[in-house]
Structures are given as structure tokens and as C-alpha cells.
Structure 1
Amino acid sequence: MTTIKSNKVVTFENNESYPQWVSMRHATHINIHMNIADMQFGQILSNPSPTSLMAHITALPAELLSAIFDNIDSNHQLAQCRLVCQHWNDPAARSMFGNTITITSDKAASRLFRHLFLHSPKIPLIRHLNFELEDDELPMNTYRLLLLAIHPNIVNMTGSVKSEAFFKVLFDIIDSSPQEFAKLETVPSYTGPNVDFNITVALKFKKSLVFPTVALDGKTTSVVKDFLRNLDQFPKLDTIIFRGHLDGLEWMEDLLRSNSNLDGFGIGNFVIKNFLADRRGMHGIIPWFHSGVQQEEALEYILINSPMFRPEAIMYFCYKYPNLKYIELKGRIWVPEGRNATDDDIFITLALILDAVKKVEIRVIHLVLPKNISMLAAMKFLPKREEDIDFSIEEIGGQNEVVFSLIDEMVD
């Protein structure tokens, strides 16, 4: 991948998918055990005779091995670790089931069910199940898997599920369990037609949820607004996540007025619709800010992932929250509708976004530009900005596209 930064060309490899819903704000620091592990593996490599090598391998304590294996995301690599020796087998197996297990079909649910049914001691090792299910109904094998695999020590259930029955089975599991599900931090997003059902799900798990989700479908509802007014029901709350779409900034303002004490929020795969197709709407937006927007001083961070970033929306958030200290924007930049957007259109939009976030202390921005934008056009934009910005060419969906990046350094 080639990156243009401050008129210099740097080449490096990057195998990460883009865009990602990952926040630097919640970045995990590597455990100190890893430093100890590096030293011990250094000793192994400095004296690589077979006898000495096996002696060092078997000498590593189980706690240290677990710390090492827990930092390996690839289950294929962990499976290879299990084959090294009997001493490594159990901690590597534990880490395999501690990694994210994704279920995308009833067939995948059936395979996992069979494995867990035959190896039931592994069930308590499961920490994170990710479900990506688009069925209106709950298939039988998925139902059986839920009954078998969901246990009180599970930490994360993520993804998106269209079936209400899926969640009602979860409710039954919770209600019938003699133990509390006190560690469950996340649950999948419901994507079916009952837009307020995500609120029902969140309230069911309110004692443990860290990232409750609110789904929006054009307009705010009384259920959603009441929910936001009563977030003190969530003792472990970190960040509220909004998903879906709203028909205009007026509805976003109506929503956010429900709670003036938010520290921050996330917006995932979210769009604000019904803007004018050209920039004539920009002339009226500043007067509307002054007349229709209630500024709030408590909120300090916003995390946004969107397939369509519009400058008006970013301008709105930065006006509404004048004390914003951290903003994260990941997704695609907006393209004017109804006509072919020129390079100038796109870079004017990008400049408006950068001007809007200019006063924010920490900015983490990754925006995919339209396919017609070339790296040459991006290079012409560089001298016009004071920020330390990057343009890179990345492969996205099998095509090379230009990606804009701005990452401010975080000062401890």
C-alpha cells in the first residue's frame, strides 16, 4: 500500500480490513506478562538445541502460557500450538474458545453444537459469540446452540440478528438460570421491523451491559427518549451506541435533548437522510444551529462509523458539543446526489469536515474517498491544509481506493 504524507511517499504493508469499528480510546494495553514471555522466548532462541528447547517450553508456567496464547487471535495458530507438546495443549485450547466464535448460518450453529455437545467441559471457556443471522425465524440448530452454549460467565455476544425469537430464547435462559449473567457486556443488535425492541433487549440486560444499542428508523420515539433519560439504570454503562438512520438533523437534536449529561456516544453504520442534494442547504444550517440547537457542555467524545459522512452532520455535532475532546470518524465521504461529483466537490466536503473538527483535541479520521478520486488529486489537496494528514491507496472490496487519514497523537 502506498501512503502520501506531507509530500513524502512511504510504502508499507497493511493487511487490516477497512473501515473498522475500533476506538483508540478503548485500546487495550499489552499485558506485562508479554514482556516476560519475550525474554523467555529469547532465551529459547539463543539456545536452540532440541533438548534445551523442550526444557524451556515445558518450563513456562501455565499462567504465562495463557497470557501469551490469549494474545493470539488466530485459532489456526493456536491449534498448531496445541500440537507442540502436552504442556501447551490445555492453555492453547482454552484460548481458542476464548477468541471470538462467529455464527453466520444454521449450518455453522449445528457444527458448533455438535462439538460442544461432545466436549461439554469446553462450554465455560466460551467468552465471545458473534452472530450474523438474517433469518426472520430462529432455526432449530441455532436454538439448540443457544440453550447449550450460553452460560453465566460469557462476556460478549455481538453481531446482528433479525429474529425476535432469538432474543426471547436468551431471556428464557437468563430467567431460568440460578446464576446471574453479571459479566455480559454486549448483546447482538436486533435488525427486525420492531425498531424499539432493542430497548427491550437492553433493559433486560441492564445490570451488566457496557454498550447498549439504540436502533433508529427515521424518527425518534417516546420509548427511545425515555430510555435515554434513564441511563442511570445501567451501572456499568460505558457508551450508548446509535444505529440506523434519522430523517434530518432536527430528529437528531430531538433525540439528544433527551439526556444532557452524556459523556459520549457511538454511532454505528448510521446515516442522517433528507439533506438537500447540493450545497444550497449549507447557507441555512448556521442560522439553524443558533436558533434550533441546544448546546451541551458535558459530552467529551463521539465515535462515528457511517457509509455516508456529510459535513453538515459533523458541523452539527461540533457545534452542539463545544467541549468535545475526542472524535473518531470512519467510513465513506458523502457524494452529492443527482449529478457527477467533481474533485472540487469532494475536497470542499473534506475541507468542511476538517474545519468542523479543528478545535477538537484528539481526532481519529479514516474516510474512503469516491472511486473517481485519484492519488494525484489528493496530493494537490495536501498543501492547502495545516493538519498532519495522509492519503493512502488501499484495497477495499477488491478495488483500490484512496483513503484519507488524520490521527492526532494522544498525550498521557
Structure 2
Amino acid sequence: MAFTDLPSEISQAILACIDEVQVLAECRLVCRDWNPICEQLMFGKKIFLESQAKVSQLVEHLNKSPSFGKLVKYVVFDFAAESTASALYSKLLSLIFTPNLRVLDGYMPIRNIYKEMVSIASKSSQKFDKLEVIPQGERMATDSSDFKAACLLFKKSLKVVTVTVTDENKPDWRFIGQLGTFENLAHLILTSGTPDLSTLRRIIDNCNQLETLKLIWVDAENPRMTKAAVRNWFYINDKPKKQGKALRLLKVVNCFSPVFVEYLVYKFQHIEKAEIDMNMYQVFISDSVIQVTDGAIHDHHIRVVQALQDTLYYDFLYCTLRNNRLENIIYHAQVADNVIAIRIVNPQKGLVHMRVKKLWYLDV
């Protein structure tokens, strides 16, 4: 029996095993009976939109067949969308934002996007209990009350939440205090202008099952805190976090101090992977009112490497300028069972990527 002669329910079950949208699109051309099956299956796969033209095509297609909008589960905007196209994105949101949607990620230039989400969900007779990701990022208003309202509405299913603390936006402890009610929260993104350990502790203590923690953390005060001071502060004011599994990933962007890395190693104790970016450290110090000597700059880099010595796998991006010599960093990374790989990213700027992993660690 030829594959094309199989009963439709068997053909559909087999075609449903195909993950690639492009492959399903090619299968539509095989025979006429497969066309409607593949078309519907395509909308349930991960849809990556890489240009505004792709967004327009998707809107046009869904306008012709609005019922297909209920089939959409995963949409990722993988490009810098134009802010002038808000009407197009609002239309797309109205077509795909249904109880079946699981992931809506990337930048959507809709001024009141979170308010629109809440409005659509509130008018629906069905619960939005599958939504895991909503648009978040530096171009999205994640410090707004609308964003927090959306997060709270979808808290039973959301896996990713951003918390923003700046000089203009003090910690919203009412919202932060409810993070513990997010049943599936696994990925936390923290953005702050003037952080402190007390704030960081209170936020993390409300998250009980984190798998990844990302800090976009501009540190203007704590470079002066010594390693001993961090340790003493922790054992006086805090305690190790109790959760069933290790933190899978710690990511620090704009790392201008070892303090938070050292603190988080005490806090979580078991961190599988880390990505630490100190690329902009010297630029920050040059522009800062805080005076930091060359020796202190080098010491801060060494402290980060030393803090991560028990981490199974970590990436460290930094500059080897002034007295911050490459061989000294490597020397302190040479702990038992560590395998070290060095890549010179930019020789002119002294930008180096160092990858360190345990000899027996395979999950990379």
C-alpha cells in the first residue's frame, strides 16, 4: 500500500510527527488530500517571523481563514520590528491570542499590548491556562502596571517573568510578593539600575522553582564590597535557598562587580551553568564617579572566576586591558577537573571569551 493510500487519520498522525514547518509545506505539494492536513498542522508548530513581510503574510492568511488562529501555539518575532506598524501587530494579536496559545515572544510594537491581552482574555469564555511566555525585553514596558496585571492574570501558566527595579521604579513588593503564586515560574529576568543584596534576596525568595536567573544589573555601589563582606552579609542576613533542583543557568549581563555572582553562589549552592558578561566593565568604570584602581579591576575578575569554581560549565566574557592579563585569569580558573577553552573575540579591544567546564560534564 502506498503512503498516499493510507486512511486520513493515520496520515494525519504520521504528518503530525514532523516538526519543521518547511517540511510540512513541502508535504502539501505531494497530494491534494494532504494539503488541508498539513496546513492545519503548520499553524500548531513553532512560527518564527523574521521580517515584517512575514508578519503581513501571516495576517493575510489568517484573515482568509480566521479559524486557523485557534491552532496557533508558538509565535516568535525574530527581528527588530518597526514601531510604526502597531496596527498590523494589533490585528495579528487579535487573530492568534486564543486559549490555545503557549508562546508569544519577541518585540511587538503595540503601545497597550498587555492591556489588549487582558481585554481579550477577560472577554473569553475559556481560560487562558496554557500561556507560558508573553513578550518581554528591553523594548517592552515590563515596568508598567499593565504588564504586571497581565502576568497576574496568566500566573498559573506563565514560565517567564521580568521584574524591573530602577531609581524611578522602586520595588513593587505587592507584585513581587505574589511571584510565589506563579505555579510554573521557571525563568526570572531582573533588571535594576541601583541594586542591593537585600532587594535581590527578597525577590529570589519569592521564586521557589527557578531553572534560570538572568540579571541585567547595573551596579553602581557594590564594587567596594569585599569577598569577606559578601560572605558575612549572607550568613548574617540570609540562608541557602531550598529548592528541589539546581539552578540550571545563571546569566549576568553588564556584570560590573563580583558581588552578585558571589552572593548567588552562596544562595543557590548548586548552579549547573553560568554566563557572565564583563565586556563593558572598563567602559563603566571609566564613566563612573567611583574610582577603581587597575588592581581592583583585576581582582574583581578573579573573584568572579573563583566564585564559579564549582559550577559545572560557565562562559566568561571580559577584556584583558591594563593589568587584567589573560594568563592570570586562566591561572585562577585552573581548578581540578576543569577544561578551559579560550577564544580571542577582538584582539584590538582585548575581548576574550573563556569557556570552562568540568572534565566529566557532557551536557553542553
TM bracket, shorter-chain basis: 0.7 to 0.9
**What percentage of residue pairs aligned between the two structures are identical?**
18
Mark the runs of 5 or more structure 1 residues left unpaired by the alignment. 1-53
Mark the runs of 5 or more structure 2 residues left unpaired by the alignment. none
| Distance of 1:387 and 1:342 partners within structure 2 | 33
Partner of 1:286: 230
Q: 1:367 to 1:288 in 2, by over 3 A?
A: same
Partner of 2:29: 83
Q: What SS is found at the alignment partner of 2:213?
A: strand
Partner of 2:261: 314
- Distance apart, 1:138 and its partner CA: 7.9
- Distance apart, 1:103 and its partner CA: 5.3
The answer to whether the aligner puts 1:200 opposite 2:149 as a matched pair is yes
Partner of 1:31: none
Partner of 2:72: 126
- Distance apart, 1:352 and its partner CA: 2.4
The answer to whether the aligner puts 1:110 opposite 2:60 as a matched pair is no
Q: 1:206 to 1:150 in 2, by over 3 A?
A: same
Q: Which sits farther off after the overlay, 178-187 or 289-298? A: 289-298
RMSD: 4.3
Partner of 1:386: 336
For residues 226-277 of structure 1, the C-alpha deviation after alignment (integer angstroms, 9 at most, x for no partner) is 333334533x323251232241333534533753x72336333611421466
For residues 160-211 of structure 1, the C-alpha deviation after alignment (integer angstroms, 9 at most, x for no partner) is 4565511111111111112212211221227238445432221111232233
5 Å-filtered alignment, 1:172-187, equals 172-187=119-134
- Distance apart, 1:302 and its partner CA: 5.9
Amino acid at match of 2:43: F
| Distance of 1:345 and 1:56 partners within structure 2 | 69
The answer to whether the aligner puts 1:145 opposite 2:89 as a matched pair is no
Partner of 2:176: 228
The answer to whether the aligner puts 1:332 opposite 2:280 as a matched pair is no
- Distance apart, 1:77 and its partner CA: 4.4
5 Å-filtered alignment, 1:49-64, equals 55=2, 61-64=11-14
Residue 353 of structure 1: which of 298, 304, 312 is its match?
304
Q: 1:207 to 1:90 in 2, by over 3 A?
A: same
- Distance apart, 1:116 and its partner CA: 0.9
Amino acid at match of 1:165: N
Q: 1:331 to 1:228 in 2, by over 3 A?
A: same
Q: What SS is found at the alignment partner of 1:385?
A: coil
Q: What SS is found at the alignment partner of 1:208?
A: coil
Q: 1:352 to 1:410 in 2, by over 3 A?
A: same
Partner of 2:159: 210
5 Å-filtered alignment, 1:160-175, equals 160-161=107-108, 163-175=110-122
The answer to whether the aligner puts 1:158 opposite 2:109 as a matched pair is no
| Cα contact 2:317–2:351 (8 A) shared by 1 | yes
| Distance of 2:343 and 2:5 partners within structure 1 | 45
Q: 1:378 to 1:240 in 2, by over 3 A?
A: same
- Distance apart, 1:339 and its partner CA: 5.6
Q: Which sits farther off after the overlay, 342-351 or 159-168? A: 342-351
Q: 1:344 to 1:118 in 2, by over 3 A?
A: farther
Partner of 1:369: 318
Amino acid at match of 1:228: I
| Distance of 2:225 and 2:180 partners within structure 1 | 38
- Distance apart, 1:146 and its partner CA: 1.5
| Cα contact 2:188–2:210 (8 A) shared by 1 | no
Amino acid at match of 2:65: H
Amino acid at match of 1:352: R
Q: What SS is found at the alignment partner of 1:148?
A: helix
Q: 1:110 to 1:370 in 2, by over 3 A?
A: same
Q: What SS is found at the alignment partner of 1:270?
A: strand
Q: 1:76 to 1:103 in 2, by over 3 A?
A: closer
| Distance of 2:285 and 2:72 partners within structure 1 | 49
| Cα contact 1:220–1:254 (8 A) shared by 2 | no
Amino acid at match of 2:178: N
| Cα contact 2:117–2:150 (8 A) shared by 1 | no
| Distance of 2:222 and 2:241 partners within structure 1 | 29
Amino acid at match of 2:160: F
| Greater length-normalized contact order (CA 8 Å, ≥ 6 residues apart) | 1
| Cα contact 2:274–2:314 (8 A) shared by 1 | yes
- Distance apart, 1:370 and its partner CA: 3.2
For residues 5-55 of structure 1, the C-alpha deviation after alignment (integer angstroms, 9 at most, x for no partner) is xxxxxxxxxxxxxxxxxxxxxxxxxxxxxxxxxxxxxxxxxxxxxxxxx94
Q: 1:58 to 1:330 in 2, by over 3 A?
A: farther
